[in-house]
Chain A
């Protein structure tokens, strides 16, 4: 009888101990979940989709008659440096703009390099399956119609964006958009410094609206991680560079808008954008 009593007592103790362990685990899990929900990235997809496609700027650069300069682009060999997801996302944006720039200038060899770099970033981010790299490579190599290449690339990038949205990977998508926009603004300011092109200056000035949209998206997420905070601070610096820049709408339709941007303003902005871009590609 005594034996049975002690045996049942020991079984009860063991069961209660194991229960307390599992309770501890669940409480740990809830704490982790709470911290995760606290730092969850909130994405405004509508706002991200409202952002202009960087190809509009690169197309304007090409149409301005300014010669192709591949020294402005992020070196394709730099892909090896980007191992963290945030780096890959930012540089996915950078390389896709560089790819657009090379495509618009019909520079086949460079285009293939940047296509490979974009593919590596896409593979790292696990979105490469939504982009038909082989088809694009074939079009590039065969030097077919450039417009077909731009359409196919654009369609692939859009599909990738849509999939990221479906998979609720808002942080990756945001960083991709920011990286692409910074690269396009970098190219525009670098070219505008060398040649005074009113249309390009107006386009650069117009980007004040875009930096406001980006800040709106990042403001709510700056506490998510140090990387997001750093990007937010960089965007604030670019916004600071736009402080004295503005575009006044023309009184009559068809007339050019009045761009309030002095040479000093452009130089200041160019320098800030260069610094931000170098942090992204480093």
Chain B
């Protein structure tokens, strides 16, 4: 680089008269001095601005504190909302237990426990589980002269009802008493005609998922 500058100067000396060279050198010096002045002012300004920046930093830390407080508050609100959501989910689970933890065999066991001392004998159990867009239906051959009972159990307020249809498709018994608007846990009938009967399980008022059990039993 130095060689290049020396060569350039030599060319200038050779090519141009001394007056012109002097003028060029003078201009170069002026520009250099001006540049130093500008740089010096800038440096001085920089030094002056540093405490100001510190001040702004302090301000920003205060702002940051406020922000973190706001964020914490937001987080707390979010947490509260999450808790509320979970509570809602739990309520949903209660209303819609098919989603999780449905145990129809548990309901069946509970029913059998209640039936053991009733004189009835076990015939069939039905696990009631799944979506309720249509009733769950089963068939069974009932014999003339035998008394049959169907006992059901489901989650609280599910309004599950069972309807029994004879071989001709007529309703002969139901756990729902429409006159008194009452639900009963079982139906009991004395069969007058041997044939294949239909047992239908459905929710009375609303479409809900099934989670329950039923037991068909008999006695003479």
Contact = CB atoms under 8 A, between A and B. Distances in A.
Given A52-B141, A206-B194, A151 B146 contact: no
B141 A50 contact: yes
Contacts of A59: 121, 218, 220
B124 A63 contact: no
Contacts of A106: none
A202 B140 contact: no
A150 B193 CA distance: 26
Contact of B121 (A52, A147, A199, A203): A147
4 closest A-B pairs by beta carbon, nearest first, are A154-B122, A50-B139, A52-B141, A53-B123
Contact of B124 (A53, A145, A247): A53
Given A55-B121, A147-B121, A155-B122, A210 B141 contact: yes
A59 B112 CA distance: 18
A147 B145 contact: no
A148 B114 CA distance: 11
Interface in B76-116: 105, 108-109, 112, 115-116
21 contacts: A47-B139, A49-B138, A50-B140, A52-B140, A56-B143, A56-B146, A56-B218, A59-B121, A60-B220, A63-B220, A147-B121, A151-B115, A155-B108, A155-B109, A162-B127, A202-B144, A203-B143, A209-B141, A209-B195, A213-B141, A249-B144
Contacts of B125: 155, 158-159
Given A56-B146, A155-B108, A209-B141, A253 B122 contact: no
A65 interface: no
Contacts of B127: 162
Dominant secondary structure of chain A at its interface with chain B: helix
Contact of A150 (B121, B124, B143): B121
B151 to A, nearest CB: 12
Interface residues of A, number: 36
A51 B143 CA distance: 11
Interface of B: 105, 108-109, 112, 115-117, 119, 121-125, 127, 138-141, 143-146, 192-196, 218, 220
Contacts of A257: 144
Interface string A47-78: 10111110110011001000000000000000
A84 B148 CA distance: 37
Given A49-B139, A145-B116, A147-B116, A247 B194 contact: yes
Nearest to A62: B220
Contact of B116 (A148, A162, A256): A148
Contacts of A52: 140-141, 143
Contacts of B194: 206, 209, 247
Best-surrounded residue of A50, A199, A257 (most CB of chain B within 10 A): A50
A196 B145 CA distance: 18
Best-surrounded residue of A148, A155, A257 (most CB of chain B within 10 A): A155
A278 B62 CA distance: 96
A60 B138 CA distance: 24
Nearest to B143: A206
B39 to A, nearest CB: 73
Contacts of B144: 202, 206, 247, 249, 257
B145 to A, nearest CB: 7
Nearest to A50: B139
B191 to A, nearest CB: 10
Contacts of B195: 209
A49 B192 CA distance: 21
B52 to A, nearest CB: 77
A147 B82 CA distance: 50
Best-surrounded residue of A46, A51, A158 (most CB of chain B within 10 A): A158
Given A151-B112, A249-B193, A256-B145, 6 more contacts: A49-B139, A50-B196, A56-B123, A147-B117, A151-B116, A155-B122
A65 to B, nearest CB: 12
B147 to A, nearest CB: 11
Nearest to B139: A50
Nearest to A250: B192
B74 to A, nearest CB: 49
